Amino acid sequence: DGGITQSPKYLFRKEGQNVTLSCEQNLNHDAMYWYRQDPGQGLRLIYYSQIVNDFQKGDIAEGYSVSREKKESFPLTVTSAQKNPTAFYLCASSDPPGGPDTQYFGPGTRLTVL
């Protein structure tokens, strides 16, 4: 059963703590993306990776970090430097690289910082 999984579905953290959101895909897609969604703001791109061991900053990368050591995995770390981390985080993947084409989304992680 092919798809994208994100875990956890809900995450609560105290202010000042780093937290890592998981994203795994078994679609054999080369490109993966992280978005943040806030009410009334649409989807904003945090980071994207078009191939293993390579990634680029999106529009709102400050306070976030990623790694792409394996094709199927693209974890996102929300660091304590992110001023307003409470949001809905979506991971997506697409194929081929070099262009977005159709992106398929995971179910999302809702992060709340207390």
Partner 1 sequence: EDKVVQSPLSLVVHEGDTVTLNCSYEVTNFRSLLWYKQEKKAPTFLFMLTSSGIEKKSGRLSSILDKKELFSILNITATQTGDSAVYLCAAGNNRKLIWGLGTSLAVNP
Residue ranges in contact with partner 1 by CB under 8 A: 33, 40-45, 48, 56, 58, 90, 98-108
Neighbouring CB atoms inside 10 A of 108's CB total 16
Please report how close the Cβ of residue 14 comes to partner 1 at its closest, in angstroms. 26
Phi-psi region of 98 (alpha: psi -120 to 50; beta: other; left: phi over 0): left
Please name the amino acid found at residue 100.
P
Instruction: Indicate the residue among 80 and 97 with the shorter CB distance to partner 1.
Output: 97
Please report how close the Cβ of residue 90 comes to partner 1 at its closest, in angstroms. 6
Please report how close the Cβ of residue 7 comes to partner 1 at its closest, in angstroms. 14
User: Of the candidates 97, 85, 95, which has an alpha carbon nearest to the alpha carbon of residue 13?
Assistant: 85
Instruction: Indicate the residue among 37 and 67 with the shorter CB distance to partner 1.
Output: 37
